Amino acid sequence: MSQTAAGIAAGVLAREIGAGARLIRWLEEGDPRGRDALATIYPHTGQAHLIGITGPPGAGKSTLTNALISEQRKRGRRVGVIAVDPSSPFSGGAVLGDRVRMQTHALDTGVFIRSMGTRGQLGGLSRATFDAILVQDAMGYDVVIVETVGVGQDELDIVSLAHSTVIVSVPGLGDEVQAIKAGLLEAGDLFVVNKADREGADALTRQLELMLHLREQTRPSDWTPPLVHTTALTGQGVATLTDELDRHLAMLKASGGFAACLKERNRHMFESLLQEQAARQILAAALAEPSAAQLISAVEQGDIDPYSAAAQLVGCISLKFS
């Protein structure tokens, strides 16, 4: 396999999974070749239907994703999947096990599944994930599914900036609706009660209906989020969910929402890159100031409060961006 940016970009556009996987890795690791290849493939992005799937641990997101892949394949679509799992905050390592539930598709050349660890870099998760989505999009996958536990701002950004955001819940977690964090309830375009054959599914459904009704009262919209019951393990309800996803996509395309969503995602990526690069340069400039060391030790000693110290240091930075 070619190891140049041009070679990998050509491979991505020729829909070679190996090239796509390598480019995702470069982008995730900050390899400069990744940026060059991304610039080449970028004009070929913007076509895929991006579906975000989130919900509490144990809700059955991976199993549901697996069933969704099967249904989308039945409908003749090629499917990309980005499965995000948490990295250990202690070692930085991770055990990524989402794809265990999806290995039935390992021999299907129309399916490309990529696991990602959250790695804990500042603002880096959403960027790395959006990069991976761009790669699969450029490879011509009709549908790209991002699956993640919706905890933290980064992960919320990822799912809420998808075209169709699916919130999965299950009966039996105690206060069921508590498990759906405030931001997620607002972000959801489709709601799923998975493991719907289990006891408590009816009670969960009633609670969700109430919450969605309240949401409708405060934030009226043209789209009423459907509530779908599934048993992902058997595939029960997954065709209905896919119908609803198709209906949502058709609505987005007719209303201009598809383009608007893409615009918002592009802007988000641009702003987070800007923030990251600007923060890095400003921080480096601040720490290079002669007074920095003295101020840091004064803060540590408690001789000056951190607010005043930060203001003082920022005041004497002279920025020269290269």
Residues at the interface with other proteins (CB under 8 A): 1, 17-18, 21-22, 24-25, 28-32, 87-88, 90-97, 99-101, 103, 106-107, 112-115, 117, 119, 121, 124
Least separation in angstroms between residue 128's CB and other proteins is: 8
Q: Which is nearer to other proteins, 89 or 290 (CB)?
A: 89
* Smallest separation, CB 272 to other proteins (Å): 15
Q: Which two tokens stand for residue 124?
A: 């880096």
Q: Which residues pair with 116 in a beta bridge?
A: 84
CA atoms of 74 and 143, how far apart (whole Å): 13
Angle among Cα 45, 48, 51 to the nearest 5 degrees reads 130
CA distance 129 to 124: 8
Phi/psi for 218 (5° steps) reads: -85, -35
| Smaller CB separation from other proteins, 77 or 215 | 77
Q: Which of 112/258 has CB closer to other proteins?
A: 112
CB of 169: closest distance to other proteins in angstroms? Answer: 25
CA–CA gap between residue 273 and residue 87 (Å, rounded): 22
Smallest gap from Cβ 278 to other proteins, in A, equals 17
CB of 117 to other proteins, least distance (A): 5
Identify which of residues 17 and 269 has a Cβ nearer to other proteins in the complex. Answer: 17
The Cα–Cα gap between 229 and 194 comes to 6
Of 88 and 224, nearer to other proteins (C-beta) is 88
User: Two tokens at 257?
Assistant: 């929402």
- The neighbouring-strand residues paired with 186 are none
